[in-house]
Amino acid sequence: MGVLEEKPRRLGGGQSRCPYCGLLQERVATLDQDWVLLEPDMKPLAHTVPAEHRWIELSDGRVTVYGVCPPDQSQRCRIDHRLACPAQPLPDLWPWLTSLRGENARRAKRQDDQEPPPPPEEWPDAG
């Protein structure tokens, strides 16, 4: 079987290149014995990131989603590389905002399709 070391070896995370943009992304273990690809060397303030996209680093190097709202104003977090990847579409972070943007696009199109009102027959005296 081989010689057993004093401590069992853990699979290291490391960095790899994103298949979409070619930039580095960091592979980090989660509390759920899974992996997540995070943006390297970026730790924004947690309150600026939507709750379901905040990855907080634990003392053992693993990360977990931090959904506390509102977080401490000085708390830092990590984000998925896919949020920062220039070659991938941004996910729907706020569905209500996406709906609003879609409705505004339809309203703007309807507004562009309408004929402008005719000018008044007599212009007001602007003095």
pLDDT digits (tens, 9 = 90+) for 74-121: 999 999 999 899 898 888 877 776 787 788 888 888 877 777 677 777
Per DSSP, what are the bridge partners of residue 24? 17
Average pLDDT, the chain: 82
Is the CB of residue 65 less than 8 Å from the CB of residue 32? no
CA distance 45 to 50: 11
* Model pTM score: 0.66
DSSP structural state of residue 6: S
> So what's the pLDDT on residue 40?
93
The bridge status of strand 55-57 relative to strand 35-38 is unpaired
Q: Is the pLDDT of residue 10 over 80?
A: no
